[in-house]
Amino acid sequence: MRSAPLNYLISVAFGGLLWLGTGYWVANYLKFNVSLGVGTTVDYFVGVYRIVLAMAAVIGLLACFFWFYYGSQEGTASNLEGAKRVWTISFFVQLALSIVAVATIFAIFENAIFTAAQYAVFFAVMSAHTYLFYWLCTLVLSPRTVKYIPWGMR
């Protein structure tokens, strides 16, 4: 599970399932519950939401791929302090990206009125595809050399 190509394939499958869940079920919830501004159709909102979601998912997946590749390099084993830095930076970059993704949706639909719960849902969904996805995948699927680097492994 921690070696290539299995860890790559499992993370793709997990990312795909996550995208289906958030891009279909959560999108349906939002479709019937958000109050959009005048002139904005629900289909347009869902389309934009899915595109932003897909971009976040691709970034999360790429971050995982990079970590899997980096973690399996010969040089990484003898520089675990460097690996810790790489993982942490990647995590926070994705945390920032999730915020940017939520902000992008708000910016595009600036006339819409979202409830606090909907704000939370947007952030939760974007988090799930970025830093949370990255954390979970690297926690379970990291190459052996770096498997104790992600938070929560010890």
Partner 1 sequence: MATNYFIGIGGTGARAAEALVHLCGAGYGPGDLSIFLVDPDESNGNLNRTKAAITHYQDARNSLGERRESMQVAGTDLATPDPLVWNVLERGDMRLADYIKHSNLEAKTHSDDEAGREAGRQGLADFARVLFSEDELDERLNKGFRGHPSIGATVMSDHDDSTDPWKTFWEDLENSAGTDAMRVFLAGSVFGGTGAAGIPTFGTPEMIKEHPKAQTGEGSKVHLGAALVLPYFTFDVEDRDRLFVTSADFPIATKAALQFYDEKKLAFDEMYFLGDSLSQNVGEFSPGSRDQENRPHYIEVATALAAYDFFESDESEAGGDSKYFTAGRTSQRVDWDALPVSRHRDAVQPRRDALKRQLATMTAFAYAFLDYGLPLLETPAGDVSAAWHQDHFYSSSLFFGQDTSLDPRQPEQKQSLERVGTYARQFLAWVTALDEGKGGAVDLIDRSKLVSARNGSPELRDHNEHEHSIGTFMEPSRQMTFGAFINELNGVRIEDESMSPADKFVNLFYEAARRFCKKNYEIA
Describe the crossing of helices 131-141 and 116-129 by its angle, rounded to 10 degrees: 40
Specify the stretch interacting with partner 1 by CB under 8 A; choose among 62-70, 97-105, 116-124, 143-151: 143-151
User: Among residues 35, 103, 144, 151, which is the contact residue for partner 1, using CB under 8 A?
Assistant: 144
Closest CA to 144 of 4, 12, 15, 8: 4
Provide the minimum distance between the beta carbon of 71 and partner 1 in the complex, in angstroms, as a whole number: 10
Q: Which is nearer to partner 1, 76 or 98 (CB)?
A: 76
User: Among residues 1, 107, 152, 154, which is the contact residue for partner 1, using CB under 8 A?
Assistant: 154
Binding mask 44-73 for partner 1 (x = CB under 8 A): -----------------------------x
Q: Which is nearer to partner 1, 127 or 138 (CB)?
A: 138
Q: Rounded to 5 degrees, what are φ and ψ at 29?
A: -60, -45
**Torsional sign, CA 74, 77, 79, 81:** positive
Asked whether the bond before 143 is cis by omega within 30 degrees of 0, the reply is no
- Quick one: 84 exposed, middle or buried, by C-beta within 10 A (0-12, 13-18, 19+)? middle
* Window 80 to 119, contacts with partner 1 (CB under 8 A): 80-81, 83-84
If binding is defined by CB under 8 A, does position 6 make contact with partner 1? Answer: no
Specify the stretch interacting with partner 1 by CB under 8 A; choose among 12-20, 33-41, 122-130, 141-149: 141-149
Q: Rounded to 5 degrees, what are φ and ψ at 128?
A: -60, -30
Residues that bind partner 1 (CB under 8 A): 73-81, 83-84, 144-149, 153-154
